[in-house]
Amino acid sequence: MEYSRTGFGSELSKRRVVLTAQRKAEQFATALERHGATIVHAPTLSVIPNADDPALIARTRALIEQRPDVVIVTTGVGFNGWGQVAEAAGLTEQWHTMLAGARIIARGRKARGAIQAAGLDTAWVAESETSTEIKQALLDEGVSGVRIAVQHHGAGDDGLDEAFAEAGADVCSLVVYRWGPAPDPGAVVEAVHLVANRQCDAVAFTSAPGATAFLKVARDQDVLPQVIDAFNDQSGVLAAVVGNVTAAPLLEHGITPLIPERFRLGALVRILVTELTARN
């Protein structure tokens, strides 16, 4: 388990924060360290690109040949990864043309940002940043006979493919990356025990699968009740999440996490600093 310190500020000089993310972990840690926090790195999952997946390349070619009516982009990192796959296969121009001719729907602002960065327009953005909102909106419109391409997030279990197929759509599923095991399982075990023993001040979660993985380790270590109690105690350990989707696994266990108004990493840092400073 890695600890890091810096001396820009002192508001959080006596605070220990567990970070469960692998992506942007250094950026996240630096932002908190500027306020004096001690950071415990314990990524619960790893991100594994599917760049060499022949099925992904084949499905991209199929979409170029038989263009979709609708393209759903669920994550910015997934969309960017898809573009990299197309580039590696020598299909960048055809990929871009295919997308430009489709109605592109984004699951939240990060996905929209990636689409715009590629020089493409977004027809609609799910402001709730949930796949459920996208599913309901399209089913209400009717998707029978519509060709829909879905770029999934790492878990790939959002239920979009099944719902649209049952409603008569022609669905092409794209899994650009997947969640892998924790890069350092021992660090996650230690972090779980830090929470159970109330030896840290906060845990930050940035993905629903990551939160689920943390709770699973707590269960495997036979400390899940202690972890839940620590999170629910107002003077215990603060659970903070980047948005409503990430909060879902915690809420299912009766844990009410801190959620910023804007579902962004910077907003999560600010709300953590504000809450932990107030607790001082």
Query: Do 11 and 55 fall into the same domain?
Result: no
Residue-level pLDDT at 7: 45
Q: What is the pLDDT of residues 217-235, one digit of tens each?
A: 999 999 999 999 999 999 9
Query: Do 158 and 275 fall into the same domain?
Result: no
**Domain end (from 179, 195, 218):** 179
Please give the average per-residue pLDDT across 1-11, as a whole number.
54
Residue-level pLDDT at 45: 92
Residue 171 has pLDDT above 90, yes or no: yes
Residue-level pLDDT at 17: 96
In angstroms, rounded to a whole number, what is the distance separating the alpha carbons of residues 51 and 219? 33
Number of domains in the chain: 2
Q: What is the mean pLDDT of the chain?
A: 90
Query: Do 113 and 151 fall into the same domain?
Result: yes
Query: Do 28 and 39 fall into the same domain?
Result: yes
Name the pairing type of β-strands 16-19 and 70-73. Answer: unpaired
Query: Do 73 and 173 fall into the same domain?
Result: yes
**Domain end (from 148, 164, 179):** 179
Please give the average per-residue pLDDT across 242-268, as a whole number.
88
In angstroms, rounded to a whole number, what is the distance separating the alpha carbons of residues 226 and 247? 19
What percent of the chain clears pLDDT 70, i.e. is strictly above it? 94
In angstroms, rounded to a whole number, what is the distance separating the alpha carbons of residues 71 and 239? 34
Residue 154 is classified by DSSP as T
Query: Do 247 and 127 fall into the same domain?
Result: no
C-alpha 40 chain-centroid distance? 20
Q: What is the pLDDT of residues 81-103, one digit of tens each?
A: 899 889 888 999 999 999 999 99
Please give the average per-residue pLDDT across 7-27, as a whole number.
82
Q: Contact 168/143 with Cβ under 8 angstroms?
A: yes
Bridge partner list, 49:
177
Query: Do 123 and 8 fall into the same domain?
Result: no
Query: Do 117 and 66 fall into the same domain?
Result: yes
The H or E element that residue 153 is part of is: none
The H or E element that residue 214 is part of is: helix 208-220
Query: Do 13 and 56 fall into the same domain?
Result: no
Query: Do 165 and 242 fall into the same domain?
Result: no
Please give the average per-residue pLDDT across 155-182, as a whole number.
87
Query: Do 165 and 195 fall into the same domain?
Result: no
What is the span of the domain harbouring residue 228?
2-45+183-279
Residue 154 has pLDDT above 90, yes or no: no
Bridge partner list, 205:
241
Confidence of residue 152 (pLDDT cuts 50, 70, 90): confident
- Sorted by sequence, the CB contacts under 8 Å of residue 163 that are 6+ apart come out as 135, 139
**Domain end (from 153, 179, 205):** 179
Give me the CATH number covering residue 224: 3.40.50.10090
The string over 260-270, giving b where at least 16 C-beta atoms fall within 10 Å of a residue's C-beta and e elsewhere, is beebebeebbe
Which amino acid is it at 203?
V
Assign residue 30 a region: left if phi > 0, alpha if psi is -120 to 50, beta otherwise?
A: alpha
Confidence of residue 246 (pLDDT cuts 50, 70, 90): confident
Query: Do 269 and 235 fall into the same domain?
Result: yes
